[in-house]
Amino acid sequence: MMEKEAKIYVAGHRGMVGSAIVRALNREGYHNLLTKTHSELNLCRQEEVEQFFAEEKPDYVFLAAAKVGGIVANSQALADFMYENMILEMNVIHAAWQNQCKKLLFLGSSCIYPRMAPQPMPESCLLTSELEKTNEAYALAKISGLKYCEFLNRQYGTDYISAMPTNLYGPNDNYHPTHSHVLPALIRRFHEAKEAGLPEVVCWGTGSPLREFLYVDDLAEACVFLMNHYSGNETVNVGTGKELTIKELTGLVAKVVGFTGEIKWDTTKPDGTPRKLLDVSKLEKLGWRYKVELEDGIRLAYEDFLNNPIRVER
């Protein structure tokens, strides 16, 4: 268990996941938190990271910093996604080990699993077949991070764990029109269509892929739970265990936003992985289950979108 007075570093505290982890820690009485903005600490600079850890000596680390994006961003910036994510992960994890950090939680992504993995995807299917090509660079970086944690545990007896969340959404999400993930992209698209009085909205693909979505504050609570209750080399899936089609999701977002026009599908655009449902039985057996249902979460996310225009990048 993390001591209440322990020094806890949340890497990426301004992002959607990191800010949710800070909220979860504060709710549970952890207030001795270390946070640094990118301008204060560039995690891609090894010397800066090593100096920070040597000076601050955090007891626990939540590694939520990452370069992230949707299908377009991932496919257009393959080298950038691989380099930046691998560099910052290795810098932080290595510096934590060098400075005797008690425990570290590394956050990955469900895209680490094979494109045609068994459904729902158990943790054991990692590296059993090829990855989805549209986000292969990001997935390889995340696999490297979780494997480095595992290898440190095996070689040096550290207590470094990893969690693999499903698709996330919620406060502080990125609503960029082309570089965001599917749910925030839909929120923005339907909102702007409603405001402009457009008769229709065109969405990518066929609408047939199945997806699972987790409200980010649920993930944050799971991360704190795992830090306090789990140790092991195998990663832990974090999700709801429920899925719906992208077509069903668009209908749900349109309903929440209040768009009443027609929804059309551009089938020349890629669908991505056909199905990505996580097997969350391991986490449920440990004693944790999600709380926020999808429609309620989308309403909360839409409120955040309306109240935080700074997140709506042009």
Catalytic residues: 138
Residue whose tokens read 């057996």: 285
Is residue 125 within 8 Å of 118, Cβ to Cβ?
yes
- β pairing state of 160-165 and 103-107: parallel
Residue 18 identity (one-letter amino acid): G
Beta pairing partners, 121: 278
Beta pairing partners, 210: 245, 275
What gap in Å lies between CA 193 and CA 41, rounded to an integer? 39
DSSP string, 184-252: HHHHHHHHHHHHHT-SEEEEES-S--EE-EEEHHHHHHHHHHHHHH---SS-EEES-S--EEHHHHHHH
First to last CA, the chain: 43
Is residue 189 within 8 Å of 204, Cβ to Cβ?
no
What gap in Å lies between CA 162 and CA 45, rounded to an integer? 23
What gap in Å lies between CA 150 and CA 308, rounded to an integer? 38
DSSP string, 73-129: HHHH-HHHHHHHHHHHHHHHHHHHHHTT-SEEEEE--GGGS-TT--SSB-GGGTTSS
